[in-house]
Structure 1
Amino acid sequence: MNDRLHHAFLKQASAADLLQHYQTGATFFASPRRSLLAHGVKAVLPPCEASQLAAKAAAWLQEARQEGRPPAVLMGALPFRLDGSSASPYLYMPQQLASGAGVDNAVTALSQAEKSCGAQLSMTPLMQPTPEAYRGNVRSALAAIRDSRFEKTVLSRSLTLDAKIAVPALLQRLAARNLRGYTFAIDLADAAAARAGAHRTLIGASPELLLARYGRELVSHPLAGSIPRSADAAEDRRRADGLLQSVKDLHEHALVVDAVAAAMRPYCKNLKVPAAPSLLATPTMWHLGTELRGELADLATTSLEVALALHPTPAVCGHPAAPAAKFIADAEGFDRRYFAGLVGWCDSRGDGEWAVTLRCAEVGADSATLYAGAGIVAGSEPQLELLETSAKLRTMLAAMNLELMLEDEPAKATS
């Protein structure tokens, strides 16, 4: 990106403008409020203990600000597990950064004019765990819930495809289907791999805001309680109405909202928590969502600090967090890496947006790994939870123009 284009973007760019200039190896993040496109890596936050991440990042940003540069911005992704047993936190300052308006309908028009993302399978996809093993994991989780080990856990699946995928086209398609959410592409390649052209991109279209800070305003919009959508309008409406009245799903949602509110309160002068959830629709799912809004007590508190205080919420881990996370580690059978972590940005004023890393994939030169999960509480049914993960995987598969059979025939499945 040349300097002239960079400065023009800073003044008047749209999300569609930035998407058109995205290339594999760059970083893109867009919300309904703002879009960012970054090229190059000026510096990467050095490794540190998870408990020091927010403070180290804040000091790093303030140091850059004191050097007289424009407001510095940190971007990147943090993994589900911050204990060093998984992928490493990746937060960096870009060499060039263009900022634009939030996602709007122009992105849809751009996507419609875009060619296919070019996904072509070269061998049978690998699912971890298998459908039967996943149903077994759900049954084990339900037994643990009956034994009062925890109230909720979240069990996920990964799907690995051997395929060549055009990341820029895929990103445009995801953004067009996610106008009210958070669309991202984070280049994960280290310097040596990038020089060799071996980029690996964390890409996705998350419906869930973990935490945003705009001045003194704090916002979180957790989702919990879901059901796949139907192509039949009457059935789709019935499912949405049923979700709003589901005792199981309302209980699952309340666990999440209560935990998020408890984590936000120490940072707020006041916090508004709606009494009941509302419906949020994506192309494949209905979700229960609650938007919490607070007034930040101390402007020295950054968006990343509050986001880390919330992570992981019961929406992606469970409740209580420690036994739920241990069950996930013991039962799931694969490394989530950045899935169910957080992705976004924070500037030197402390403002920023951090989405939960959902409806996502890690895409390399010849392969991609997709992820999806479902919350397990008392009353969950193994086959329905399996089908929920399949519906969530279809967000990415549809954007890749891939149709796959993801599970055994439902009629043959046992509960």
Structure 2
Amino acid sequence: MIHINKKHTYRGAVVGYGNLGTRHAEVMSGLETLRLVAVADQLAEARARAAQDFPGVTLYEDPAEMFRTEDLDIVAIVTHASGHAPLSLLAADHGAHVVCEKPMAASLAEADTMVAHFEEAGRQLVIDHQFRLGPGATTTAALLDEGAIGRLQTIKANFTKSRPAGWELGVTGTHVFDMVCKIAGNPTDCIAHILTDGNDASRDDIKRGGYWTPSGMVDYGNPLHLGDNGWVVGDSLGAVFRFDSGAVMLAEGYVSDTYPYSGPRIEIAGERRQGERRKRGDRVLIELRGPKGRLRVCGNAFDEVYVARGAYPEDEKHNIPWQPVALPARPERPTMSYMAATIAPVYEQLIRTIEHGEPHPCSGVGGRRAMEMISAIFASHFAGAAVTLPLVDRSDPLAPR
């Protein structure tokens, strides 16, 4: 168990009690320095689940009423992306620090507004890019610092799952981009190409949101299944980014028919936590290449790291002799599910930031950088040319015109 010198116990609340909302609630109820006091969700069935999972927690249908009524220190915003900006701003106006799920917002302009608002309010805005705090990320950064592969030159990043790549950018892509920025620095330019059904994506292909439904279909039109990530386009894409470190990245995403997205879910508390988490991160990976070898980061929560030493480590059959790298164990958190345990360090660091002023690695500024990379992909495709970052035009390149 990690112990933090505390001034008091912080009062926490969750807005949006879906799958990820339950994980944030687990963290708030499982840390010594934080107490879950309230949950807000517009759906009655979600509030009923919260009442069952966390008896005694005050429930609200309206987040604004919760902010007015409760004296909250930390609020988790775990709604669809379209709600992230307005709810985060409202929480800050009521004096709370915010942990916001990814994608940070539904557009880059909204992300800009969030960063500026929190700076003015003197509150912390943290984006749940928790994987950059995990043992895979820290070990990879240390290996690069030690020169394990020499100077980082090229990066291959894949965020493929069984959902359209344009939509997946805001879910898995934002994690991948944030991890790459931790390793390679700030992006300076991007050129990208997006396809829909094998053809160049056009403005007629742009859709609002879209969600992975129980039927296994992406239904953009059914509001009951709408996971609103803002305007999205394309089922496959490729993008090349250059970074201020001198590294170049090729990022790709496409729909995989074999990605095992369905399967047993690891739930919270008691008997529902039994069983091993199904591994399904083999198509979400980052490969780093230098003159002395390669590093590969993959797995759930980027918790697998492999190294292949040598300038050209392939054998005569072009097989790469990947060797697993031992990672430090995560802290034991017996009251939390696997995913909640990966999120817990985000809150622990937030408390240190509040109390001691330590910069948070998952800041709103960093979250905006990942959002800007997504926006750059869309902007480059429709411009038919490379774009420079930071983007001069902060408007949504996919918004209706």
- TM-score, length basis structure 2: 0.23
Higher relative contact order (CA 8 A, sep 6+): 1
**Greater strand percent: which structure?**
1
